[in-house]
Amino acid sequence: MKIVMLGAPGAGKGTQAKRIAEKYHLPHISTGDIFRANLREGTELGLKAKEYMDAGALVPDSLTVELLLDRVAKDDCRDGYVLDGFPRTIAQADVLTDALAKSGDKVDLAINIDVPDEHIQRRMSGRRSCPQCGQGYHTEFNPPKEEGVCDKCGAALIQRDDDKPETVAKRLQVYHEQTQPLIEYYEKAGVLKTIDGTKPMDEVFADITALF
């Protein structure tokens, strides 16, 4: 089962992707992990990607897909995998679809975790993290015992730049312009399933597992 996870930043697709991978014994694959692994190992593809990254340029879709296909060709992906964070655009989806088709393959399921923007903004702007021990909190859903202080180590909690309201608004704008069209793309391919991501995390996962 080859699965693509879709959803806005903060919708919880990364968390659900990991849970799917664990339950069904499938590799959880993110492009960030692939880039880091290839750079660390100094592979030919990794060195090509490094040239673009060192120049401050985006890695081309064709090279990103090449790195991805190299990863999914490994033995642990024989029974499928969960793609998290790729594709992000229609262009990337087209390259992936064409590349998989060449080996008689295709995406089996695209899971869209649907969460309205106002929910995303509440979720992300309330996040806090401990710079010392890494413990995560939420001002509304998972607050520390003492406001602004880590329960575990007593350090002052911080709000990451990524979670600041103005940054969240920009990320959502990019999502709607570039990534949201993938919902229609995979719907036309007949593999899209949409899940209500506003429910509690365990209920969302139960709805996902009901698809299998």
Cis check: omega of the bond before 87, within 30 degrees of 0: yes
Residue 5 near residue 16, CB atoms below 8 Å: yes
CA angle 200, 204, 207 (to 5 degrees): 140
Q: Which of 18, 50, 164, 171 is catalytic?
A: 171
Q: Which of 78, 152, 160, 170 is catalytic?
A: 160
Residue 117 near residue 8, CB atoms below 8 Å: yes
Question: Which residue in this structure is represented by tokens 């506003």?
Answer: 198
Could you confirm whether 128 is annotated as catalytic?
no
Residue 206 near residue 23, CB atoms below 8 Å: no
How many residues would you count in the chain?
A: 212
The phi and psi torsions of 41 (rounded to 5 degrees) equal -85, -10
Q: How far is it, in rounded angstroms, from Cα 64 to Cα 30?
A: 11
Q: Which of 13, 71, 123, 128 is catalytic?
A: 13
Residue 209 near residue 109, CB atoms below 8 Å: no
Could you confirm whether 160 is annotated as catalytic?
yes
Q: How far is it, in rounded angstroms, from Cα 81 to Cα 79?
A: 7
Could you confirm whether 19 is annotated as catalytic?
no
Q: Which of 88, 122, 164, 199 is catalytic?
A: 88
Q: Which of 19, 71, 123, 127 is catalytic?
A: 127
Active site residues: 13, 88, 127, 160, 171
